[in-house]
Structure 1
Amino acid sequence: MPLLVQKFGGTSVADADKILAAARRAIQAHQRGQQVLVVVSARGHTTDELIALAKEINEHPPAREMDMLLSTGEQISVALMAMAIQALGVPAISFTGAQIGLVTDSFHSKARIRNISTERMIQALDEGKIVIVAGFQGVDQDYNITTLGRGGSDTTAVALAAVLGADACEIYTDVDGVYTTDPRVVPEARKIDRISYDEMLELASLGAGVMHSRSIEFAKKYGVPVHVRSSFSDAPGTWIVAEQDARRLGVTVTGAALAKDEARITVFRVPDRPGVVHSLFHSIAGSHIVVDMIVQNVATDGTTEVSFTVDSGDLAETLRTVENAARSVGASGVAHEAEVAKVSVVGLGMKTHTGVATTMFEALANAGINIQMITTSEIKISVLVDRASAALALRTVHKAFGLDEWDNTAWPPFSIENAQTKPLRQPQDAENGSNSTSPQGMEELVISGVELDEAQACLTLFNVPDEPGFAGRVFRRIADAGVFVDMIVQNISTAGNTHLSFTVPRASAEDATKAVTGMGPGEVSVESSIAKLSVLGVGMRTHTGVATRMFGALAERGINIALINTSEVRINVVTDISRGQESLICLREAFSLADEA
């Protein structure tokens, strides 16, 4: 019998009428012949009210007791939902996270799921009951109640869909799907009918608030189709699915996003030798600070600049850590900027289409917006801009890629029945034919591969003017020359100028050099043979220390890093080509992929 997981957020169960409406949705699926498991959040503003109450008692409440308190919100919701379903004539049973054996680690307020016992849920489903589970919560190995942090109910729902092998997971919320950007900032934003896991991961990490990264990590890892839809409408929403089911011919950019609460930190004149970058980021990882953009320039005069961004709330702690680390490695100083924002475009089509960077940079230049930093991945381009220009920048790039004219009817509609990728089914217990428990360490970091590309060249324009439009002019010439650009790295300016580096296919290096020669006051450097190393995985950003492990493995071999850029699903570095194969081997060993073909 097909299994459907439905998740209802706080606004969807805010009062009795809404709880009954949600109950009717679950019953409709049940009457269609599906087994139904419902995950619910705390009602309305319950969590905020509980936090405020705790602060009245104790300004700094213990994390364990906060989890004990906050978990009660979901417990109220599951009981009321079970009552509502039973009142409408269908058997139902409610469970807390502890009652279904959802076991986490012991990091209160931000716990990660280790494993889930499925026996009680499967028994109740097989008895014909609708099962209701409290989202956001679990229990550690010592039976302490834990909570999963931001987006925790989404994470619970997708994790249960994964371990039970559900056909789909429906996320009911107060919006009717995922949009090309935040409609509160750009009213012209359009709903997307389907989007890939990687695109959604990038958008979620960039500030798109519909889904949290951890739930999408689960969905990608276990192949769970996720349907984001409105609690107040029967209209189709947005499907989050595997790449082959999301791809659209002719589309380069799927969405744009704004992360407005960013802070930038730059370490100046970092010695250009193996191990130095690792020392910097090892210190940061030790403080459990999540780093976002990482940019390292090509070195000049034996030193380089390293910049990165963190959430503005982590700025003070990060500065304390980085200033000590900078002194220890012999860097000349540390600077920061608290009023910056990151604007990004994301799309699977970037893998095969040229000119995406050109379009973005030219649009920002025409709007008079200066770019402070640039970093890219195969499906994302991110730029750092002044926070005062952030909303204008988002509207500008959204329009530049025609996202305000998005038309879902141009492609065949998605459905579970015609999906090319099916959810992974967990192995069944041989004795009773049902799943007894989930894999251990469900939410552990998964590194899916390490790649080596030895077919690229790197061009660097030194001392280019720090002004709106220069990057646009550079990549317009590159696009006109028919050259495909991979990595783009631009760090902040010093003394009014900056360096701009990018990689191209080695066979196109001469054409690219001719195109940009003479564009700036500085010289053009061409490294005709480089090794680009990429670590790919799920959970790259939410698990701190991935970059540190990568940098540390290279440092132990005495391999120097020339360029760095990062994304949600991969970290890229450039090294000397003579060390490429050695770098590949050591990174596979570092991430336990030594037997990878």
Structure 2
Amino acid sequence: MPLLVQKFGGTSVADSNKILAAARRAIQAHQRGDRVLVVVSARGHTTDELIALAKEITDRPPAREMDMLLSTGEQVSVALMAMAIESLGVPAISFTGAQIGLVTDSYYTKARIKNISSDRMAQALADGKVVIVAGFQGVDENYNITTLGRGGSDTTAVALAAVLGAGACEIYTDVDGVYTTDPRIVPEAGKIARISYDEMLELASLGAGVMHSRSIEFAKKYGVPIHVRSSFSDAPGTWIVGEDDARRLGVAVTGAALAKDEARITILGVPDRPGAVHSIFHRIAKANLVVDMIVQNVGTDGETEVSFTVAKGDLAETLVAAEAAARAAGARGVTHDAEVSKVSVIGLGMRTHTGVATAMFRAIADAGINIQMITTSEIKISILVERSSAVAALRAVHRAFQLDQVHAFPQPDFSPERSTTRAMTLVPLVEVDSGGNGGQGGGTVREQGMEDLVVAGVELDETQGRITLFDVPDRPGYSARVFAAIAEAGVFVDMIVQNVSEDGRTNLSFTVPREAVARAEAAVRPIAGGQVSVEPAMAKLSVIGVGMRTHTGVATRMFGALADLAININLINTSEIRVNVGTDIDTGKAALECLRQAFDLKG
């Protein structure tokens, strides 16, 4: 008998009528012949009210007691849901996280799942009951109540679907799916019929509030299909599935996103030598701070600049760590900007479609907006702009890629029946101990925790060359001109790295296939106006995995392993699912081997 997991968010169980409506959805699935497990969040604004109540008592409530307090919201919801289902004539039973043996680590308010005991749930399901589980909570090995942090109920639901081998996990919320961008900002945004785990990870990391990235990491890791849909309608929502199910021929860009409240930190005058970058991020990782964009461009005169972004709320704490790191590394100083935003486009089709960067940069230039930083991955291009220009930039990009026409794409043929016999099998990846101290645990494989960092592999690409344009004018339109010329020359661009300028001028680097380096150089020289540096052959190394951003210290471990071999890094860019660095071509194979050892990967 197939198993379906349904998750109802706080707005879906806000009052008695909504609880009964959610109960009827669960009963409908039960009457179709499915075994049904329901995960619920705290009702409405309960969590906010509990936090406010704690603040009335003390400005600094202990984290352990906050978890004890906040977990009560879900306990109310599960009891009411079980009562509702029973009142409609179907047997039901509710469980807290502790009662199903959902065991986490001991990081209060942001705990990670280590393991789940399925026996009690499986027995109740076998007895024909609808099982209701409290989301967002668990217990540590000492039976202290813990909570999973923002998005925790989504994470609970997907984890239970993985453990029990569910055919699908339905996420019921107050929106009817995932949109090409935030429809509150761009009203013409269209609903996406299907999207891949990697695309959704990138969108979630950019602030797309439909689902939190940790739940998507779980889904990708264990192959759980997710259906995001409205609590208030029966219309199809958005399927979040594997790449083969999500791919749409002829479509380069799936969505655009805005991370509005970002802050940028730049460390000036970093010595351009092996180990300098590692020492900086080692200190930042020890503070357990989550860094987003990391950008390092080619150095000049023995120095380079390293920039990275963090959530604006983390700026003060990050500056303390960054200033200490800069002093230790012998850098000249630290600057920051608290008024920046990140605009990104995401799409599986970017791997095979040329001209995406050109179209994006042209749209930004036509809107009169200046680009401060650029970083890319295989399926994402991100730029940093002034916050005051962010909404205009998002709208311009959305319009440029005609994302308002996404509704014309066919509905997916994916359905949970395709996976109802799927037993939970762990994907053949390597669990890495993130160390608990900024990722400095030595990289040993250990007893598996369900939410541990997973490194899928390390890649070496020796087929590319690099071109750097120095003293680039810091004004709208320059990048658009450069990449339009590259596209006209028929050259495919991989990495693009532009760091922020402190003096009105900056450097822009990009990588192209080796055989196209001469053509690319010829195309950009008439535009450059300044010095052009060409590296005809380089090594690009990538660490790829699940949970790269939400586990601190991944980049640190990578940089540290290279530093130990005295291998200098001359380019860095990052995304949700990979960290890329550029090194000299003659160090590529040695770098590959040392990274395999650092992440305990077989050759």
Alignment of 1:61-140 (within 5 A): 61-140=61-140
Please report how far the alpha carbon of residue 457 of structure 1 lies from its aligned counterpart in structure 2 after TM superposition.
0.3
SS at match of 1:227: strand
Please report how far the alpha carbon of residue 408 of structure 1 lies from its aligned counterpart in structure 2 after TM superposition.
4.3
Query: What's the Cα RMSD here?
Result: 1.2
Please report how far the alpha carbon of residue 418 of structure 1 lies from its aligned counterpart in structure 2 after TM superposition.
5.3
Please report how far the alpha carbon of residue 423 of structure 1 lies from its aligned counterpart in structure 2 after TM superposition.
4.8
User: 1:558 corresponds to which letter in structure 2?
Assistant: A
Conserved 8 A contact 2:193-2:411: no
Q: Which residue of 2 aligns with 1:507?
A: 515
SS at match of 2:99: coil
Q: Which residue of 1 aligns with 2:53?
A: 53
Q: Which residue of 1 aligns with 2:485?
A: 477
Q: Distance in 1 between matches of 2:422 and 2:593?
A: 32
Q: In the alignment, is residue 581 of structure 1 matched against residue 577 of structure 2? A: no
Q: Which residue of 1 aligns with 2:371?
A: 371
Q: Which residue of 1 aligns with 2:443?
A: none
Normalising by structure 1, report the TM-score: 0.96
Q: In the alignment, is residue 464 of structure 1 matched against residue 508 of structure 2? A: no
Q: Which residue of 1 aligns with 2:437?
A: none
Q: In the alignment, is residue 313 of structure 1 matched against residue 310 of structure 2? A: no
Q: Which residue of 2 aligns with 1:522?
A: 530
Q: In the alignment, is residue 210 of structure 1 matched against residue 218 of structure 2? A: no
Q: Which residue of 2 aligns with 1:560?
A: 568
Deviations 1:139-173 (A, max 9, x none): 00000000000000000000000011100000000
Q: Which residue of 1 aligns with 2:171?
A: 171
Deviations 1:245-265 (A, max 9, x none): 000000000000000110000
Conserved 8 A contact 2:95-2:133: yes
Q: Distance in 1 between matches of 2:97 and 2:477?
A: 53
Conserved 8 A contact 1:222-1:424: no
SS at match of 1:154: helix
Unaligned runs of 5+ in 2: 427-446
SS at match of 2:229: strand
Alignment of 1:321-400 (within 5 A): 321-400=321-400
Flag the 1:99–1:418 CA change in 2: closer, same or farther, 3 A: closer
Q: Distance in 2 between matches of 1:422 and 1:378?
A: 33
Q: Distance in 2 between matches of 1:570 and 1:473?
A: 28
Structure 1 residue corresponding to 2:450, chosen from 442, 462, 484: 442
Alignment of 1:246-285 (within 5 A): 246-285=246-285
Conserved 8 A contact 1:164-1:426: no
Percent identical residues: 76
Q: Distance in 1 between matches of 2:411 and 2:493?
A: 28
Structure 1 residue corresponding to 2:460, chosen from 436, 441, 452: 452
Q: Which residue of 1 aligns with 2:157?
A: 157
Please report how far the alpha carbon of residue 333 of structure 1 lies from its aligned counterpart in structure 2 after TM superposition.
1.1
Please report how far the alpha carbon of residue 330 of structure 1 lies from its aligned counterpart in structure 2 after TM superposition.
1.2
Q: Distance in 2 between matches of 1:422 and 1:589?
A: 37
Q: Distance in 2 between matches of 1:495 and 1:149?
A: 40
Alignment of 1:17-56 (within 5 A): 17-56=17-56
SS at match of 1:389: helix
Unaligned runs of 5+ in 1: 428-438
User: 2:232 corresponds to which letter in structure 1?
Assistant: F
Q: Which residue of 1 aligns with 2:442?
A: none
Q: Distance in 2 between matches of 1:529 and 1:411?
A: 44
User: 1:529 corresponds to which letter in structure 2?
Assistant: A
Q: Which residue of 1 aligns with 2:556?
A: 548
Structure 2 residue corresponding to 1:490, chosen from 486, 498, 520: 498
Q: Distance in 2 between matches of 1:237 and 1:586?
A: 44
Deviations 1:471-524 (A, max 9, x none): 000000001111100000000113211100000010111110110012123111
Q: Distance in 1 between matches of 2:526 and 2:132?
A: 66
Conserved 8 A contact 2:262-2:339: yes
Flag the 1:412–1:169 CA change in 2: closer, same or farther, 3 A: closer
Q: Distance in 2 between matches of 1:16 and 1:581?
A: 62
Deviations 1:374-395 (A, max 9, x none): 0000000000000000111111
Normalising by structure 2, report the TM-score: 0.95
Conserved 8 A contact 2:2-2:421: no
Q: Distance in 2 between matches of 1:396 and 1:498?
A: 24
Please report how far the alpha carbon of residue 324 of structure 1 lies from its aligned counterpart in structure 2 after TM superposition.
1.4
Conserved 8 A contact 1:456-1:528: yes
Please report how far the alpha carbon of residue 406 of structure 1 lies from its aligned counterpart in structure 2 after TM superposition.
1.4
Q: Which residue of 2 aligns with 1:183?
A: 183
Conserved 8 A contact 1:224-1:424: no
Query: Deviating runs (4+, > 6 A) in structure 1?
Result: none
Q: Which residue of 1 aligns with 2:304?
A: 304
Conserved 8 A contact 1:274-1:558: yes
How many aligned residue pairs are there? Answer: 583
SS at match of 1:281: helix
Deviations 1:525-576 (A, max 9, x none): 1100100000000000000000000000000011000100000000000001
Please report how far the alpha carbon of residue 440 of structure 1 lies from its aligned counterpart in structure 2 after TM superposition.
3.6
Conserved 8 A contact 2:3-2:36: yes
Q: Which residue of 2 aligns with 1:539?
A: 547
